[in-house]
Amino acid sequence: TGSRDKTVRLWRTSDGAPLLTIAGQDSIVFALAYSPDGATIATGSHDNAVRLWRAADGTHLQTLTGHRDCLRAVAFSPDGTTIATGSDDASLQLWRTADGAHLQTLTGHRRRVCAVSYSPDGTTIATASLDKTVRLWRPG
């Protein structure tokens, strides 16, 4: 879970016991996602940044910057090589997981992008926005 107290907490699903608290965010955590292999957690926050964390111990791996407003959505591609992020700046941005390189900015929404999801084959990304639209993207 991500929180207003700038932490991410991992919980054991069988009994709800806390497993790990990740501190080190600079602001409220609005979005998070596990990589497909479970090794990495990506968080999106109020400070416009995406942070990558080692899931096993909470070690900070890297910070990705480029959005101009709060991060509201984050998703890993099915193969884990790319991260898609949605923001209050109405954009969808794509990042290479291995080195954090910014790959592409996609625009078209008029308001906040509040949800991002990859298709199972990774070729299409769906975004939902406060502009009352859902868009399908095929980044190239």
Q: Give yes or no for residue 2 having a pLDDT over 90.
A: no
What stretches of 1-140 adopt beta strand conformation (E)? 8-11, 18-22, 29-34, 40-45, 49-54, 60-65, 71-76, 82-87, 91-96, 102-107, 113-118, 125-129, 134-137
Q: What pTM did the predictor assign?
A: 0.92
pLDDT tens by residue, 29-72: 999 999 999 999 999 998 989 999 999 999 999 999 988 999 99
Sequence-distant (≥ 6) Cβ neighbours of residue 17 within 8 angstroms:
11
Percentage above 70 pLDDT, the chain = 100
Per-residue pLDDT, 91: 95
User: Locate tokens 């975004």: which residue?
Assistant: 127
Per-residue pLDDT, 6: 86
Q: Domains for the chain: give ranges and CATH numbers.
A: 29-137 (2.130.10.10)
